[in-house]
Amino acid sequence: MESSSNLLDYLKSKTQVDADAYTELLKPQHADLLKKTAALANEIKGHYHTVNFEELAMELSMLSLALSIAPKITGAILVMVNPLYCYSTPKIIDNGQRLYRLCKFLEPGFDLSRLIIKVPSTWEGLQACRKLKSFNVKTLATTLYSMEQAILAAEAGCIYISPFLNELKATFDSAYHDPTPIFDIIVNAQRYYEHHSYPTRVKACAAVTTEQILQLAGVHAFTAPADQLRELASMEESAVKVAQRSRFRDELAIGHTNENANETANGATNGATNGAVDGTTNGDAHRDSNRTTNGNTNEMMEKLSFIDDESKFRLAFSRADEGKAQLKTAQALNLFCEFQIKAEALMRDNDMTKIG
C-alpha cells in the first residue's frame, strides 16, 4: 500500500517554493511602512537626481518590505525595476544599480549577493541585464512567455527566469481562463539550460490552481501565493501518483531510480538525490529534449543565439506561439505598469510635505 505525503512537503522536496510579496505594498497593514519610507525619500532625494520622489519612495518601500522578510528565509530577496522603463535599457540599468545602493543604505550589513533584481523580458530589459551583470548586479528575467526570451535571458547572464504559466490577468481575475498555459516552455527552458550547461535557473510562477503547481514539481523553483501554499499544506496524496502528474516526470523518475541505487549500494541516500531536490537532471533526462524552441516539432534542441542580433530576436519573438507570447508579455507589463502607477499615487498620498 502506497503511503500518503503532504503535498507541500512533497513539492518542497522536488522544487524550491517561494512566496510572492510583490503586490503586498498595496495592502492596508503596510500603511506605517509607506509613511516611513515616504519620509525617508524626502530626506535623501537630493542624492538621487535621476528619479522623482514617488519612484524613490516606492523603491525604498519595496526594499524595506523585502528586507523585513529576509531574516525568515535562507535564499534571495527579489525587487522589481520600474516596469514603466521596460523599453529603456539605460533607465533599467540605472534603476538596478540604484536598488543595490538603496539596499546597502537601508541595511549596511545585508549581503548584497542575496538581492536579485527582476527585469522585464523585453529586448531592452535583457540587454540591461547583460550590462548589470558586468556591475555584479544579479537579475531575474520576468514576464517571460517564450523560449526566445528564455534563450536571450541565459545569454544575458540572468540568474533566474520567471516564466508565467498563465497570462498574468488570469491570476487576478478568477472569471478569466488562459486557454494556452505554457507548460512546454517551462519544461523546455529548463532542459535547454541543462543541455547547454547554462547556469540560469527556472523559477516558474502564475499558476492559478494547486494542480498546475503539482504538474510542475521538479522545476528549479516556483513562486506561489500564500493561499495556494496553505491549500497544498492541507492536502495529502501518494508521492508516486503526484510524480506521475508532473511534466518533469522523467526527471523525477531518474532521481528516484538513482536514489534507490545508492541506497542499495551504500545503505543511504547521497549526492545522487541532489538532482531531484533542485529539479535538475542527469544526461539521460534529455532523451525527450528533441524539440524546437516552441516545443512543437521533433527537431533537436539546437543551441541558438540572439544576444547580438536584435532583428533576429524581435522576428522570432513576434512569431512565438503564433504571436501569443508577445501579446501575453505586453499584457503582463501593462498590468505591472498599472500597479506601479497606483503605488506611486499611494506614495504621494503619504508625502507629509504636501499635506496641509
The C-alpha atoms of residue 342 and residue 277 are separated, in whole angstroms, by 39
End-to-end Cα, the chain, rounded Å: 71
The C-alpha atoms of residue 115 and residue 159 are separated, in whole angstroms, by 11
Query: Would you call 98 exposed, middle or buried from its count of C-beta atoms within 10 A (0-12, 13-18, 19+)?
Result: middle
Q: Strands 4-6 and 236-238: what pairing?
A: antiparallel
| 300-316: b (≥16 Cβ within 10 Å) or e | ebeebebbeeeeebeeb
For 108, phi then psi, to 5°, come to -55, -30
Q: Which residues have a catalytic role annotated?
A: 118
The C-alpha atoms of residue 336 and residue 121 are separated, in whole angstroms, by 13
Residue corresponding to grid cell 533584481: 117
